[in-house]
Structure 1
Amino acid sequence: MDAIKAFFKDQAQHLRKEVWEVARQIGEHPELGYKEFFASEVLSRFLQQHGFEVKRGIAGVETAFLARFSGTRPGPRVAYLAEYDALPEVGHGCGHNLIGAASAGAAVVLSKSLELSGEILVIGCPAEETSGAKVTLVEQGIFKNVDAAIMFHPGSQNVPVISSLALDALEFTFHGRAAHAVAASSFGINALDAVINFFVGINALKKQISPDMKINGIITEGGSVPNIIPERTVARFYLRARKRKDLDELRGKVIRCAEGAASMVSAKMTWQKFEFSYDEMHTNQSLAECFTKNLRELGVNQISPPQTAMGSVDMGNVSWTVPAIHPYLTLGAGNEIPHTRDFAQAALSSDGENLVMLAMQVLAFTGSDVLSDKKLLQQIKREFRLDR
């Protein structure tokens, strides 16, 4: 380990208790997406205390923030992404308290360099568990001129390279005509029949699509009482595919199914997106290799091959805007299942503290490499351009 990274490791040790206190406080005060006022305040205050300039409520998102620390000379811009929203009833069953603390901690560690070139950013990203704010932050230009976006996620394995599924969240409304279900049934147009036809069509479609495409739906409105022909029904669906272009094609097929189902009973159909669309996560290989090298330098040698997460993350949208990584690091022995109370408890245990310490160091090391190694940065950018 060279002298610079040894210095950063020493700084991380000095910050250990302070950063863990940030993670602990957020973990013990879970807040749902877009309501993370306590977590946003804790992270912002910690960064301000260490010399970062913090702007809150960015991109019109009240609990988002942007923290900056400029070096002594111009140079690249590295962004650490902080997540800090919790799950309903479960709390921090995805370990976002660890993500936010580690990203902020890594940024502070890196800021202690006396010869820092460039700029360190920490971008507070609310609501990853629901309608991810990273989509809004991308659209509002928050990632403009960022050279690399870096974060980590707690998991059951050490996986530097991941991909995820692209996601569309669609709501279909079927419009019929109400009538007495017995005395005047011939005057009604049954919107419930339309939505049932829709599900029948979807089940047939599932047999014709690739196994890595997913269609999952529920009926959220199915009528009011049995003796009134339903004039309005609503269904919500998540559609997923490995690639955005494949998902766009799938979306067209699903919409045509809905149109056909409505026409069978002379109903009308409208649709809309009820949550943000996510693109698939595209890991920058050069940046991931740098992260892996630093992980090994910190003594971590159990590293898993690339994996596709069978879910969707708003970091995917970031990864198509700037070079990005979203690696997973093992929480404890890797036995806890995410989105459970057990995982939330593990994230508040000594295992959580140890993981924050590891993540803070490897993120700081990787950010340092991006800021100081011109050849590495050129390689990262070249790869990003060629993969568009």
Structure 2
Amino acid sequence: MTTGISRDFKKEAESTLKDQFKKIIAFSHKLHQHPETGFQEHQAVRWLADELKTIPGVRIEVGLGKLPTALKAEAGTGELVLSICAEYDALPGIGHACGHNIIASAALGAFTALAPLADLLDIKVRLLGTPAEENGGGKVLMLEQGDFDGTHAAMMIHPGDVDEFEMLPYACSGYRVAFHGRSAHASAHPWDGVNALDAMTVALTAIGLSRQQLEPGQQIHGCIDSAGTAPNVIPELATGQWMVRAHDVDSLARVNAVLHRCLEAGALAAGARLEIEQDGPTYADFRTNKEMANVFARNSSAVGRPMAPASRRGGSTDMANVSHYFPTIHPMISLGAGCPPIHNIEFAAAAASAAGDKAIWDGALAMAWSCIDLAMPSDTRDRLLAQNK
């Protein structure tokens, strides 16, 4: 390794990022203008691969295992493997209202800045394109099929309304629910029917009442997709989607049991048949690597964006599952004063604004500089290497 005494790696990384930044912003805006939902990110992954092909010496694989919209790119052959995650799926109906165009572009920027330095730093820098964070747990599937194998440290940034060097998400599971009854004329022969809407109504009531006894940090929320077709027909089908969240996976298992009891109560009361299907993998609680988080916080401050500890718990992410296997960080980067909350149309607009572009620069540079610090000979590097042997 060439030491930092003779070379200023951070300055070189910043210079490379500056040279390529217009292209990176153009990539972000293109993603924003053409949103694709989970597992359908075919344009996004192709455009990301096209950008990576312009970087000399990068090894690129598009389509990993059973995931055609997953991607792996690597530069360098060093012992320390640093994985930077890119998300690029959008939300149905409201596009990039979670700012994944920013996440993907910051990851691309950090990788672009680090790739020419990888062998000098004795690292292998890896960019992982991870599909379907919103609705399918792409990272969980990638963990299962070995795409993260060899990682010593993983990171990504996420836009929001705060500048914080960590995220406190909930563990989470989602379910699709259907009550199956029997239709009948609601006036002439109602006694011949089994009312699926009644089953849903009882379940909703039970869930509402159960909230008084939920443990701190437990949540249940959902929506009804369908519940009948005409007022004079006994509904034979009622469907909905439910999510449960908790501080950790053990608490999540307990609140899962509450939800299932409430749904079963509705079916029992109405004489309907209940069908429950888990919708995607379970998302775990997040285990932030404090040493890495402190490194990122120092570098973000040096970039001009001071960071604070997490101020509140909220949301869920499949990056949390990665943190159970490898040292991981997930800093949050604000889109500025007056930033709307994520997952609404106003935030989607902000994700392609000047503040969104600034978040890409700051996030990419802070991640690149943090990777350089992790690569330097130190106890931190030694600890990261030792954790994955």
The TM-score normalised by the length of structure 1 is 0.90
Would you say 1:134 and 2:166 are equivalent positions?
no
- Kindly state the Cα deviation for residue 334 of structure 1 after the two structures are TM-superposed: 5.4
Q: d(CA) in 2 for partners of 1:264 and 1:343?
A: 42
Alignment of 1:186-225 (within 5 A): 186-225=191-230
In the alignment, the residues of structure 1 paired with residue 22 and residue 273 of structure 2 have an alpha-carbon distance, to the nearest angstrom, of: 60
1:75 aligns with 2:65: no
State the secondary structure of the residue aligned to 1:163.
Answer: coil
Deviation at 1:378, TM superposition (A): 4.1
Task: Tell me which residue corresponds to 1:60.
Answer: 66
CA distance in 2, matches of 1:143, 1:383: 14
- Tell me by how many angstroms 1:364 deviates: 0.6
- Partner Cα separation in structure 1 for residue 387 and residue 123 of structure 2: 21
Structure 1 residue 380 displacement after superposition: 4.9
**Residues 61-113 of structure 1, C-alpha deviations (whole Å, 9 max, x = no match):** 22211111123xx3111111111222344332322212111111211211111
- Whether the aligned pair in 1 keeps the contact of 2:102 and 2:360 (CA below 8 Å) is yes
Match of 1:287 among 272, 276, 292: 292
Name the stretch that deviates more: 1-10 or 59-68. Answer: 1-10
Residue 154 of structure 2 is matched in structure 1 by: 149
Q: Which amino acid aligns with 1:81?
A: C
Amino acid at match of 2:156: M
Could you tell me how far apart the structure 2 residues matched to 1:384 and 1:226 are? 61
Match of 2:255 in 1: 250
CA distance in 1, matches of 2:357, 2:188: 68
- Indicate conservation of the 8 Å contact 2:38/2:132, yes or no: yes
Structure 1 position 306 matched with structure 2 position 304? no
* Residue type at the aligned position of 1:82: A
> Which residue number corresponds to residue 266 of structure 1?
271
Rounded to whole Å, the distance in 2 between the matches of 1:382 and 1:284 is 14
User: Where in structure 2 are there 5+ consecutive unaligned residues?
Assistant: none
Matched pairs, number = 382
Note if contact 1:176-1:231 (Cα within 8 Å) is conserved in structure 2: yes
The alpha carbon displacement at 1:382 in A equals 7.5
User: Which one of the candidate residues 34, 42, 51 is aligned to 2:47?
Assistant: 42
Work out whether residues 161 and 307 of structure 1, in 8 Å CA contact, stay in contact via their aligned partners in 2.
no
Counterpart code for 1:199: L
CA shift in 2, pair 1:185/1:343, >3 Å: closer
Whole-Å separation in 1 of the counterparts to 2:254 and 2:93:
36
- Residue 237 of structure 2 aligns with which residue? 232
Task: Please state whether the residue corresponding to 2:172 is helix, strand or coil.
Answer: strand
The answer to whether 1:344 aligns with 2:358 is: no
Contact 1:287-1:380 at 8 Å conserved across structures:
no
Instruction: Give the CA deviation at 1:343.
Output: 3.0
- Tell me by how many angstroms 1:329 deviates: 1.4
CA offset at residue 153 of structure 1? 1.0
Shift of 1:292: 0.9
Q: Which moved more, 1:283-292 or 1:337-346?
A: 337-346
Q: Secondary structure at the match of 2:65?
A: helix
Counterpart secondary structure, 2:126: strand
Q: Is the 8 A contact 2:151 2:388 kept in 1?
A: no
Pick one of 100, 106, 110 that aligns with 1:102.
Answer: 106
**Are the equivalent residues in 2 in contact too, given 1:286–1:380 (CA < 8 A)?**
no
Q: Does structure 2 retain, via aligned residues, the 8 Å contact 1:157–1:334? A: no
Measured in 1, the distance between the counterparts of 2:240 and 2:26 equals 43
Instruction: Please give the alpha-carbon distance, in whole angstroms, between the structure 2 residues aligned to 1:47 and 1:333.
Output: 33
- In the TM superposition, what is the alpha-carbon distance from 1:255 to its structure 2 partner? 0.9
Q: Determine the structure 2 residue equivalent to 1:363.
A: 367
Q: Aligned pair in 2 of structure 1 residues 309, 44: CA closer, same or farther (>3 Å)? A: farther
CA distance in 2, matches of 1:338, 1:176: 38
Mapped partners of 1:347, 1:163: distance in 2: 22
Match runs of 1:170-185 below 5 Å: 170-185=175-190
CA–CA separation in structure 1 for the residues paired with 2:34 and 2:179: 41
What is the SS of the residue equivalent to 1:307? coil
Separation of aligned partners in 2, 1:70 and 1:340: 40
- The residue aligned with 1:26 is 31
